[in-house]
Structure 1
Amino acid sequence: MPTAISPLILPVNFRADDFFAFHLRDRQNIAEIVENNVLRKGILWDNSPAQLIITIDQQMATIKLEVDDSSNIANDQKMIEIGKHMLGLQQAIEQFETQYLSHPIIGQLIQHQQGLRIYQSASAFEALVWAIIGQQISVTAAIAIRRRFIQATGSMHSSGIWCFPNEQQVAATDDDTLRQTGFSAGKIVAIRALCAAIIDKQIDLSVQINQNNHQELANQLLNLKGIGPWTVSYALLRGFNYLDGSLHGDVAVRRNLQPLLKMATQPTAKETEKWLTEFSPWRALVAAHLWRSQSAAGY
């Protein structure tokens, strides 16, 4: 089993507890296992089952990869990039905090949650699938569906951990199996359209997303049946490090915004959208701060 190890220095205010809380959402631990300061996650590495191990010790993260395929040698630079990606280190949150730490409304929130960043899914495809699964259902229900989905479509590493599937594996899974995992008819349509677009190279998920080109990918995704604005904004946030999606329709964002604005009733999606406009290009990061004010695992 080929193994590679790479070290990574972390920022002084890195919130390791939040990072591990994000990966502890599924207590059945089939695809992500957290033990003390170590995360083990099943991924596909060049289509081969692999176990990614991230260990955090003070200001140092160690990225270790164990690949089942003996001919698949891990590339150190690629490992470092996936480590930075998953740890959210490609986000310029220091700029955001400098700009808004003294803000009369969200300044105190930022001060209490300084260093907050968006921990990323291992791949953009995983982020998109999670966003589709999470459409209009609770996080608890989405976690259970995701678990069954991985077991029905994914593959297992020799360590026993499950690896999130790729688009080819999902495309090869029949509708009945997807229904049994908890997918609604609409979500099956959406994930079929997504997989087909990736396989046919109509959509390229390897592109680096920024303020200048995000709309092109967003439009491509919105053209797929079953994928709407919330799904796109959440997937861009969780899979592409894009921090300006407007998550004004998110129930938790609106619920946690109400006490912050001292409103008698929960703000509407339209009111929330208008309020978030001030914080562009950081709207999704502001939404994450609102999520975090409720729960470490809730963002």
Structure 2
Amino acid sequence: MSVSRCDIPLPENFRPEDILAFHRRDGERLAEQVDDHGLKKGLLWRGLPSCLELRFQPGAARLSLAIDGAAAADDAGRLASLGRRMLGLDQPVEAFERQYGAHPQLGRLIAARPGLRVPQTAFPFEALAWAITGQQISVQAAVSIRRRMLQLCDCRHSSGLLCHPDAARLAGLDADQLGQAGFSHAKSRAILALSRDAAAGALPLDAWLDGVPVEEISERLLAVPGIGPWTVSYALLRGYGWLDGSLHGDVAVRRAMQMTLGLPDKVSQPQAQRWLQDFSPWRALVAAHLWALLQAGGF
């Protein structure tokens, strides 16, 4: 086993509770273990089962990565980049709050949670797999299906934590196996198509972190059967930190929007799309504030 470590400075208004809530969603703690001051998460690092430990300290986050295998020369630098991404530190939330802090409706949400950032997954593939899993079902149902998928793949670190599978491992499954984990036929087809394309290099998900235009990523992902606009917007938010996806199709977003605007009737998708459009290029961050209003599974 090898261990890499790094410390990451945090801004004054950083909200550790948002990060912890996101990783606390599965109460069975098979892949993520969260306490009041940090978390442990199983993940595959260069294909090797690894355990990421993140501890919050005054003004900083301390990260360590225990790898079941030999370290590489660039592991410390890559760990720091992963940590910043997972913590949302590259999201320019200060500019958003300056622009909309006095907004008659949104300003109240910002004042309630200043400094809110969107927690991100360790890798883009995890964000896409989660987005497909969560299509048109509750967070609780998606968490249960995700758990069974992790157990099915059984990528396990020496600590006992399950690691989220990479594309190659998921591509090795078949639709019947995924169906036993709770995936519908359509979702099984989508996640297998995504996994096989990513494993073959046709969808270089990690390479896209280096600044490929969002329009190109969206076009490539929308070509995968079973992946639509909501899945792409959500995955771009969770996997790449893109803050302008229009999540008007999200039921929780529309429910919180109804509360925020004080409307007597449910908000339709076209209504939500029109209201969110005024906040471009921050529409997904607005959605995160709406999720947080409902405290929807750590949003």
TM over 0.5: yes
User: Per the alignment, do residues 60 and 156 of structure 1 end up closer, same or farther by CA in structure 2, a change over 3 Å counting?
Assistant: same
Q: How many residues align?
A: 298
Q: Any conservation in 1 of the 2:130–2:146 contact (CA below 8 Å)? A: yes
Distance 2:199 2:70 in 1: 26
Residue 208 of structure 1: how far off its partner (Å): 3.0
> What amino acid is the match of 1:143?
V
Return 5+ residue gaps in structure 2 as ranges. Answer: none
State how 1:1-299 maps to structure 2 within 5 Å.
1-70=1-70, 72=72, 75-205=75-205, 206-208=207-209, 213-295=213-295, 297-299=297-299
Distance 1:31 1:20 in 2: 14
Q: Any conservation in 2 of the 1:168–1:199 contact (CA below 8 Å)? A: yes
Distance 1:238 1:223 in 2: 20
> What amino acid is the match of 2:197?
A
SS of the counterpart of 2:193? helix
When normalised by structure 1's length, the TM-score is: 0.96
Residue 202 of structure 1: how far off its partner (Å): 2.2
Residue 70 of structure 1: how far off its partner (Å): 3.2
- Cα displacement string for residues 34-92 of structure 1 (whole angstroms, at most 9, x for unaligned residues): 12312100011100000000000121100101001135566211110001011111111
Distance 1:47 1:259 in 2: 44
Q: Tell me the C-alpha RMSD between the 2 structures.
A: 1.4
Distance 1:73 1:151 in 2: 31
Q: Any conservation in 1 of the 2:55–2:61 contact (CA below 8 Å)? A: yes
Q: Any conservation in 1 of the 2:222–2:232 contact (CA below 8 Å)? A: yes
Return 5+ residue gaps in structure 1 as ranges. Answer: none
Distance 2:9 2:219 in 1: 36
User: Per the alignment, do residues 113 and 267 of structure 1 end up closer, same or farther by CA in structure 2, a change over 3 Å counting?
Assistant: same
Q: Which moved more, 1:131-140 or 1:257-266?
A: 257-266
When normalised by structure 2's length, the TM-score is: 0.96
Q: Any conservation in 1 of the 2:41–2:163 contact (CA below 8 Å)? A: yes
> What amino acid is the match of 1:47?
G
- Cα displacement string for residues 239-297 of structure 1 (whole angstroms, at most 9, x for unaligned residues): 00000000001000000111211111011000000000000000000000000011163
Distance 1:276 1:41 in 2: 34
Q: Any conservation in 2 of the 1:24–1:34 contact (CA below 8 Å)? A: yes
Residue 213 of structure 1: how far off its partner (Å): 1.4
Distance 1:219 1:290 in 2: 27
> What amino acid is the match of 1:294?
L
User: Per the alignment, do residues 241 and 3 of structure 1 end up closer, same or farther by CA in structure 2, a change over 3 Å counting?
Assistant: same
- Give the 4+ runs in structure 1 shifted more than 2 A: 70-74, 199-202
Q: Which moved more, 1:280-289 or 1:214-223?
A: 214-223
Residue 209 of structure 1: how far off its partner (Å): 7.2
